[in-house]
Amino acid sequence: MGGSVIEPSVTPDAGAMQVTDGFHLVIDALRLNGIDTIFGLPGIPITDLTRKAQACGMRVISFRHEQSAGYAASIAGFMTQKPGICLTVSAPGFLNGLTALANATTNCFPMILISGSSEREVVDLQQGDYEEMDQLAIARPLAKAAFRVLHAEDIGVGVARAIRAAVSGRPGGVYLDLPARLFPQSIDAEAGRRSLIKVVDPAPRQIPAPEAVRRALDLLRSARKPLIILGKGAAYAQADAEIRNLVERTGIPYLPMSMAKGLLPDTHEQSASAARSYVLPEADVVMLVGARLNWLLSHGKGKTWGGKSAKDWGGQKFVQVDISPQEADSNVRIDAPLVGDIGSCVSALLAGIGSAWPKPPAEWLGAIAERKTKNVAKMAETLAKNPSPMNFHSALNVVRDIVKANPDAYLVNEGANALDFTRSIVDMYRPRKRLDVGTWGVMGVGMGFAVAAAAVGKQQVIAIEGDSAFGFSGMEVETICRYDLPVCVVILNNNGVYRGDETNVGGGRDPAPLVFVKDARYEKLMEAFGGVGVHVSTPDALRSAMQEAVRSRRPTLINAVIDETAGTESGRITNLNPSAKKK
Ligand code: ADP
Ligand code: TZD
């Protein structure tokens, strides 16, 4: 963690002695550890903390809802390997931030939720304080770790522990409870300075055991149809060159999980994405690098993997590279677990592979190439169509071109169909540029992610949003305008959740539960705050609007009206609907 040693910010006391207080110690502890940005929402008891942090030179980004601030913090953590900080008020503000904290833990993103809290004595006796809540107890089961600091001289330790917990091992969300009374506590400035800790080596490398490396290589060597799956842990690890070397020196085809797209360019000849449904059941040895065999990979079994029925093993053997020793065998047997940080594990594998590793059998590569060519041609045909009204494909064909022309732009993505189609149609070219709904498939991350990507990543952001998805965090367009961020939001507007053509089966006057106001003018929301709003209904108009947004870098919202009958219920995961199970 970078950051030079800094002088504590002090407040001159009435006498000669220099004192500091809880407010300044929190700020100094964060800055000492290279943390320069806070995402949050002010109010009692942390209002002054936001002011003073800004006065001390930190970037303070104030949101309209804590959940968005939390999502921003978590994705900043993913992008930078430094814990993203979300700052909230007590009880309701804390709870609003907590969803994002739980989501961070689920996704292995390092984040610290710092919440002010009410009077301990009153809270513990349940005497009815302002925003009374036992926040520490509530956060604990949802966080990787949770701490409370009661005394100013312990702030340094509290912040250090929070940082280590967030970024070491498997990263996750950490809760730090700071009671109101802590902030005004004064202590001698020199004692305060000495109490702070600059965390040394916050995410230590974890070197894999040599025998585990040998076991993994032996299994890979025995494969006739090997496959590598890259997950967002591999993207997070920032071992981009090593991972590329591993893929290219072994010649093994690979599949990127959603947020690992771009780790190698999606146009790489070894990418098997366009032949996914062929390679998963066919592969005999699969090496997972920073990817879990959770629902997103059908738990490593069942029909997706060539198993006879839903729970049957497909016969694959697995190598799993992961920092968590508990991850292996979570769903199916892992024959070669390789525990360590991805950078060290991949380097160790490369050392063992040397320069004379035999390429996988030509029949395997040929069969994949054949499927790829066929599927890519089929997709090109679909993308070239220009139906009226516009649909997901014709709109995303434009987005695909814009992203190709701007490979450094971040692509934020949420929705159901809007997510699935974007993932499969829009190629990514650089690591950690695709930011999406992750492990939970959570709606509401969109605008928080966009703000963080623009503010921390300092690049153009393109957010592709379902109209339902956008609604979860739509008010943050004011935040985007206020900080004048280069964010271009594209709403793929089909008038509802999944699609917009349902009617009330009960026959009453209420609309069906899945549909919204027809022909809603979302672009006016952006105009209300001084940004650019555009209403488009053709691919050409969408292209011009996106090009102008990227050129001007102005906050822009494009309301892209698409066919309201386009889209399937739940997108690609219709099979998870209980009613589908009943059938
Ligand atoms: P995806 O959704 O892309 O498949 P997951 O979130 O399921 O990815 O898996 C990410 C995995 O990466 C987690 O099991 C986590 O423990 C692991 N991981 C995260 N960071 C590192 C790292 N630096 N080194 C090794 N493994 C890591
Ligand atoms: N609430 C939360 C927090 N996360 C969720 N994933 C859902 C509800 C359920 N849900 C989905 O899984 S996708 C989705 C919801 C409400 C919205 C789909 O509609 P959309 O996208 O307009 O965003 P499409 O393109 O019309 O499918």
The per-residue pLDDT for range 85-115, each reduced to its tens digit, is 999 999 999 999 999 999 999 999 999 999 9
> Running DSSP on this structure, what letter comes out for residue 357?
P
Q: Enter the tokens of residue 183.
A: 């902030």
pLDDT tens digits, residue range 432-489?
A: 999 999 999 999 999 999 999 999 999 999 999 999 999 999 999 999 999 999 999 9
pLDDT of res. 297: 98
CA 421 to ligand 2 centroid distance, Å: 14
pLDDT of residue 2: 40
pTM exceeding the 0.95 threshold for the entire prediction? yes
Q: Which of 67, 498, 499, 502 to mutate to test the pocket of ligand 2 (most atoms within 8 A of CB)?
A: 498
Q: How far is CA 487 from CA 10, 190, 445, 446, 548, in A?
A: 38, 44, 14, 11, 12
Residue 573: per-residue pLDDT: 83
pLDDT of residue 9: 62
Report which ligand 1 atom has the smallest distance to the Cα of 327: 14
pLDDT at 7: 54
Residue 442: both structure tokens together: 């959570």
Give the model's pLDDT for residue 10. 59
- pLDDT digits 0-9 by tens, 359-393: 999 999 999 999 999 999 999 999 999 999 999 99
What is the DSSP code (8-state) at residue 210? H
SS3 237: coil
Give distance in angstroms: CA of 201 to centre of ligand 1: 20
Q: Is the sign of the CA dihedral 276, 279, 284, 289 positive or negative?
A: negative
Report how far residue 84's alpha carbon sits from residue 78's, in angstroms, rounded to the nearest whole number: 8
Q: Name the residue of 80, 259, 324 whose CB sits within 8 Å of the most ligand 1 atoms, as the mutation to test its pocket.
A: 324
Q: Are 175 and 136 in contact (CB under 8 A)?
A: yes
CA of 323 to the centre of ligand 1 (A): 7
Counting from 1 in the atom list of ligand 2, the atom nearest the Cα of 440 is 6
Cα 32 to chain center, whole Å? 26
Question: Which one of 257, 322, 347, 432 would you pick to mutate in the ligand 1 pocket, going by the greatest count of ligand atoms within 8 A of its CB?
Answer: 322
Q: How far is the CA of 576 from the centre of ligand 2 (A)?
A: 14
Name residues whose C-beta falls within 8 Å of residue 469's C-beta, 6 or more positions apart in sequence.
414, 415, 418, 419, 443, 444, 446
CB 111 within 8 A of CB 178: no
In the predicted model, residues of the chain with pLDDT beneath 50 are 1-5
The Cα–Cα gap between 333 and 451 comes to: 41
Which CA distances in Å does 394 have to 266, 538, 540, 562, 566?
20, 8, 10, 9, 11
**Bridge pairing between strands 285-289 and 317-322:** parallel
Helix axes 342-353, 210-221, angle to 10 degrees: 60
Structure confidence at residue 4 (pLDDT): 43
Residue 203 CA, closest ligand 1 atom number: 23
Q: Do strands 59-62 and 254-256 pair parallel, antiparallel, or not at all (unpaired)?
A: unpaired
- Tell me which residue has its CA closest to atom 20 in ligand 2: 466
pLDDT at residue number 572 = 82
CA distances from 62 to 90, 460, 472, 539 (A): 16, 20, 17, 35
Q: What is the pLDDT of residue 574?
A: 80
Nearest alpha carbon to residue 320 among 300, 350, 301: 300
Q: How many residues would you count in the chain?
A: 583
Q: Which residues line ligand 2 (CB under 6 A)?
A: 415-418, 441-444, 466-469, 492, 494, 497-498, 567, 571
Ligand 2, closest atom to CA 499? 26
Which pLDDT score, from 0 to 100, does residue 579 have? 79
Ligand 2 atom with least separation from CA of 492:
25
SS (H, E, C) 94-119: HHHHHHHHHHHHHHCCCEEEEEEECC
Question: Which pair of structure tokens corresponds to residue 522?
Answer: 């979302």
Distant-in-sequence, close-in-space partners of 536: CB < 8 Å, separation ≥ 6: 542, 545, 558, 559, 560, 561
Instruction: Select from 79, 82, 228, 232 the residue to mutate for testing ligand 1; criterion: most ligand atoms less than 8 Å from CB.
Output: 232
Ligand with minimal distance to 391 CA: 2
Q: Which atom of ligand 2 is nearest to the CA of 414?
A: 23
Q: Specify the pLDDT at position 5.
A: 44
Q: What are phi and psi of 87, to 5 degrees?
A: -115, 125
What pLDDT, on the 0 to 100 scale, is given for residue 571? 84
The CA 291 to ligand 2 mean position distance, Å, reads: 24
Query: In ligand 2, which atom is closest to the CA atom of 444?
Result: 3
Instruction: Output the pLDDT for position 3.
Output: 41
Ligand 2 atom nearest to CA at 421: 25
With a 6 Å cutoff on the Cβ, whether 108 touches ligand 1 is yes
Ligand 1: centre distance to CA 193 (Å): 36
Ligand 1 touching residue 535 (CB < 6 A): no
Instruction: Give me ligand 1 centre to Cα 416, in Å.
Output: 23
- Compute the distance from residue 64 Cα to the ligand 1 centre, in Å: 31
Ligand that lies nearest to the alpha carbon of residue 347, given by its number in the listed order: 1
Q: How far apart are CA 201 and CA 37, in angstroms?
A: 20
User: What is the model's pLDDT at position 11?
Assistant: 57
Measure 81 CA to ligand 1 centroid, in angstroms.
Answer: 13
Place of tokens 């139906």: 387
Extract the tokens encoding 119. 């009077």
Closest ligand 2 atom to the C-alpha of 416?
Answer: 27
Does residue 232 have its Cβ closer than 6 Å to ligand 1? yes
Q: Is 170 in the pocket of ligand 1 (CB under 6 A)?
A: yes
